Every structure is written in structure tokens, then in C-alpha cells.
């Protein structure tokens, strides 16, 4: 990570958690909230991260597949660790191992990484592309704010422990 200039020692977890929650409450999706909250930590433009993460909300465009918070972790891991030479299969394997590790921790804590499974019992699982209105009731009935927080904590812990 040092080659990217990331300083995880100065990473303030509470500040990142607050930023993620603020982004989500502003109307950004789970993926945007997680990735956007790490913009300063990884030295990327927040607007760029918000744009890159936009398609992953609602379990990939509200298809209710992989949770957006998990996708947000993947975006940050890709920037920090991915090797861009496709012939480096060992590096690709190691990167996939990292992604599986954080996704595994998320699943251990929440029972799944699949959006529709995480929402089941909290709200009707809707794949209509029209996003739900962000009302007070929306935030009360959904597990998403807690899932965003879990993803932020898992990712921050991983980055701190694997500062290379």
C-alpha cells in the first residue's frame, strides 16, 4: 500500500464510519457510502468513487444480488491491491483471496452477502429500478445503515492489518 501513498496509521475509523452514514443518509447507495467514505484514506477523488460505485447499489442496479456495501469494499480493495498486469496470475489469485476474506467476514457477521437475503424480513424485496424514497421509515425498516457500518469496519480493519 505504501506505493499508493495510503497512510492507514492516520485512518480515523470513527470519522470514516460517520462519513459513510452521512453519505447513505444523503441518498447515496450502500456501495457509494462505503467507497466514498474511504476517498481520503486511499487518496482518490470522492466524486470519482461515487460515480464508480453508483451501479452497485441495490445489489447491482437493484437486482438484489451482491450487497452494495460488499461491492464498495471490493472497489477499494481493487484500487489498493490489484495488479493490472493480467499475466500475473499469482497476484490475481492473492487479490481474489483478499476479496473473499472481507466478503467472508461480512457474511459471518450478517448471514449473507446477497442483498435480497439481507433484506428478507426487513422490507419487500423489490427489483424495480426506481429507488425507494429515503424517508424516516425507509431508514427504520432497512438493515442497510448497519450493513454499511459493518463493511466500513471490516475494510478499515483489513487495510490496517495488511498495510504493506
Whether 8 shows a pLDDT value over 80: the answer reads: no
Q: Which residues contact 76 (CB under 8 A, 6 or more apart)?
A: 34, 35, 38, 42, 155, 159
Number of H helices, E strands in the chain: 10, 0
**Cβ neighbours around 21 below 10 Å, total:** 17
Average pLDDT, the chain: 91
Lowest mean pLDDT among 3-7, 43-47, 121-125: 3-7
Alpha-carbon 1 to chain mean position: 19
Cβ contact 64:116 at 8 Å? yes
Lowest mean pLDDT among 61-65, 98-102, 122-126, 151-155: 122-126
For the segment 16-28, the average pLDDT, to the nearest whole number, is 97
Amino acid at each position: 500500500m505504501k506505493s499508493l501513498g495510503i497512510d492507514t496509521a492516520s485512518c480515523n475509523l470513527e470519522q470514516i464510519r460517520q462519513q459513510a452514514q452521512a453519505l447513505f443518509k444523503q441518498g447515496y447507495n450502500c456501495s457509494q457510502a462505503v467507497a466514498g467514505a474511504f476517498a481520503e484514506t486511499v487518496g482518490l477523488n470522492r466524486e470519482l468513487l461515487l460515480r464508480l460505485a453508483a451501479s452497485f447499489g441495490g445489489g447491482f442496479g437493484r437486482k438484489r444480488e451482491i450487497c452494495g456495501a460488499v461491492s464498495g469494499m471490493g472497489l477499494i480493495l481493487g484500487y489498493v491491491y490489484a495488479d493490472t498486469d493480467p499475466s500475473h496470475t499469482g497476484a490475481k489469485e492473492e487479490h481474489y483471496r483478499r476479496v473473499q476474506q472481507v466478503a467472508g467476514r461480512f457474511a459471518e457477521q450478517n448471514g449473507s452477502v446477497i442483498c435480497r437475503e439481507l433484506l428478507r424480513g426487513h422490507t419487500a424485496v423489490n427489483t424495480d429500478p426506481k429507488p425507494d424514497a429515503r424517508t424516516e421509515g425507509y431508514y427504520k425498516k432497512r438493515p442497510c445503515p448497519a450493513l454499511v457500518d459493518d463493511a466500513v469496519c471490516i475494510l478499515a480493519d483489513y487495510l490496517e492489518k495488511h498495510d504493506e
